[in-house]
A and B are shown apart, each in its own frame.
Chain A
Amino acid sequence: MKIKLAVTLKKNILDPQGDAVKVALKQMNFKALSSVRQGKLIELDLDISDRKVAHDLVEKMARELLVNEVMETYEILMD
């Protein structure tokens, strides 16, 4: 089963990379843009067919390695 994990900086943390991207887009004339935040996408392919088992395993992986909960937050994306 393929599961995606979207990882972003917590809302209250400054994201200079996102700001740099926003400046670049505005300079390219994309005016209707109020904010940009940049994160990362981790794609996992698990040998599991049960959706709940797969979800819980990804959550465990997120907590133990894939996400630093001091500064990041995450969303598990399943089809």
Chain B
Amino acid sequence: MKSTLLIFPGSNCDKELQTAITDIGSIVTRVWHKETDLPSDTDVVFIPGGFSYGDYLRPGAIAANSRILRSVKAFSDKGGYIVGICNGFQILLESGLLPGALMRNVNQKFICKNEFIKVSNTDSIFTKNFSSGEIINFPIAHNDGNYFCSDDDAKSLMDSNRIPFLYENNDNGSKASIAGVLSKNKRVLGLMPHPERASFQEQGGVDGKRFFNSMLENI
């Protein structure tokens, strides 16, 4: 599995993500946002967490309009796999690759804790190695994780099984406790929790390693 890791000014979860992906055997190429093209042998694009462009205007808004995102959209059109984690999820939403938007947490606080996440469907390479309904543990760390979408989009997501992760404790106020969302072809995933922070025993859990292995084994 050849992984391409996008870096924006303000991305700060890239090294941890690179370590986690490399550890399960994927080869990672780092790509700075000013590049125009992705490496031609890219199997999956990862967009890491952090505060790209300082979260100025809206989190992910400026990164969504960067040059490299045009290549990412073309890659997705050809059936490419993309994972956006936290700020990466925000960027995917702002770019229109996923439906909905992320707003300020309803309790007005930056939430930083290990969260119980329910795997609500195993219909994609990202969740195939889990059991449907399984409760896993991923850290969350965000100020703007409150997922919102229109009622029509919510219905469409539910009807087509495109909600792979739900919060067990919905502290940020997300609509229908949605913690992650898949694209129509189930190859683009955006999630607020951080699997790369649950990839080694030293981090307190390895459900994240299972997530990356699920991708590697099923891609």
Query: Is A16's beta carbon under 8 Å from chain B?
Result: yes
**A26-34, A47-55, A60-68: which lies at the B interface?**
A60-68
Do A17 and B104 form a contact, CB below 8 Å, given A68-B58, A68-B94, A70-B148? yes
Q: A16 contacts B101, CB within 8 Å?
A: no
List, in ascending order, chain A residues with CB within 8 A of B62's CB: 65
List, in ascending order, chain B residues with CB within 8 A of A9's CB: 103
List, in ascending order, chain A residues with CB within 8 A of B106's CB: 14, 16
Bound: A71/B173 CA distance, A: 15
Q: Mark A17-51, 1 if CB is under 8 A from B, else 0.
A: 10010000000000000000000000000000000
By size class, the interface of chain A is 10 to 19
Q: A70 contacts B150, CB within 8 Å?
A: yes
Q: A16 contacts B107, CB within 8 Å?
A: yes
Distance between A34 CB and nearest chain B CB, rounded to angstroms: 21
Q: State how many residues of chain B have any CB contact under 8 Å with chain A.
A: 18
Q: Mark B93-108, 1 if CB is under 8 A from A, else 0.
A: 1100000110110111
List, in ascending order, chain B residues with CB within 8 A of A17's CB: 104, 108
Query: Is B189's beta carbon under 8 Å from chain A?
Result: no
Bound: A65/B147 CA distance, A: 19
Q: Which of A64, A65, A66, A71 contacts B103 (CB 8 A)?
A: A71
Closest 8 CB pairs of A and B: A70-B101, A71-B101, A16-B106, A16-B108, A68-B101, A71-B148, A68-B58, A65-B65
User: Can you name 17 extra interface pairs (CB under 8 A) apart from A16-B107, A16-B108?
Assistant: A9-B103, A13-B103, A13-B148, A14-B106, A17-B108, A64-B65, A65-B57, A65-B61, A65-B65, A66-B57, A68-B61, A68-B94, A68-B101, A70-B93, A70-B149, A70-B150, A71-B101
Would you give 21 A-B contacts (Cβ < 8 Å), ordered by A? A9-B103, A13-B103, A13-B148, A14-B106, A14-B173, A16-B104, A17-B104, A64-B65, A65-B57, A65-B62, A65-B65, A66-B57, A68-B101, A70-B93, A70-B100, A70-B101, A70-B148, A70-B150, A71-B101, A71-B103, A71-B148
